[in-house]
Amino acid sequence: MLTIGTLSRKTGTKVQTIRYYEQIGLMNEAGRTAGGQRRYFEKDLDRLAFIRHSRQLGFSLDSIRELLELSDNPSRSCAEADSIARRQLRQVEQRLKRLQALKKELKRMVAECEGDSVAECKVLEVLRDHSECLTDHDGIGA
């Protein structure tokens, strides 16, 4: 029987996060000691490792929920799992594209500023006026 702290150490997950996963139904409800502390089996450790690894690869908790369910039914076709992964890949590729464009713009504005007063700052100039940009950066942020 493993404590929550052991799971935490073995998977690099904060204790609170493990409890959070239980709360949203991603981890099964753990058994408890007489005093109310959670105790886990190896299979819970495996499940948590699966969740964390999937998170590291960028899957959303919702996708992970689906993947876990599939993983629990070994006889089913894996088409669904593959399509989730392909969807994730497409998303990553899209974000990559946006970030690459962003990087270019940022690099350019940083490089072009000669570092005098704010009045002549290239950085601020670009921020004030999108027409100085080479790309469209549609969408926001990330």
Partner DNA sequence: GCCTGAACCTCTATTCGCTTTAGCTTATAC
Partner DNA sequence: GTATAAGCTAAAGCGAATAGAGGTTCAGGC
Residues that bind Zn ion (CB under 5 A): 78, 82, 113, 121, 123, 130, 133
- Helix crossing, 79-112 with 61-71: angle to 10°? 150
Q: Copy the structure tokens of residue 12.
A: 């690099």
Q: In 3-state terms, what secondary structure has residue 41? A: coil
Q: Which positions touch its own copies (CB under 8 A)? A: 46, 49-50, 52-58, 67, 70-71, 73-79, 81-82, 84-86, 88-89, 92-93, 95-96, 99-100, 102-103, 105-107, 109-110, 113, 115-121, 123-124, 127-130, 137-142
Q: Tell me whether residue 62 or residue 82 sits nearer to Zn ion (CB atom).
A: 82
Sheet of 38-40, strand order: 2-3, 38-40, 31-32
The interface mask with DNA, positions 78-117, x = CB under 7 A, is ----------------------------------------
Within 8 A by CB and 6+ apart from 71, the residues are: 50, 81
Q: Which does 120 bind (CB under 5 to 8 A by kind): DNA, Zn ion, its own copies, none?
A: its own copies
Query: Would you give the DSSP letter of residue 135?
Result: S
Q: How far apart are CA 122 and CA 103, in angstroms?
A: 16
Q: Which does 4 bind (CB under 5 to 8 A by kind): its own copies, Zn ion, DNA, none?
A: DNA
Q: Which does 71 bind (CB under 5 to 8 A by kind): DNA, its own copies, Zn ion, none?
A: its own copies
Strands 31-32 and 2-3: unpaired
Query: Would you give the DSSP letter of residue 116?
Result: -
Q: Does 20 bind DNA (CB under 7 A)?
A: yes
Radius of gyration of the chain (CA): 23
Binding site for DNA (CB under 7 A): 3-6, 8, 14-17, 19-20, 30, 32-38, 55, 60-62, 140-141
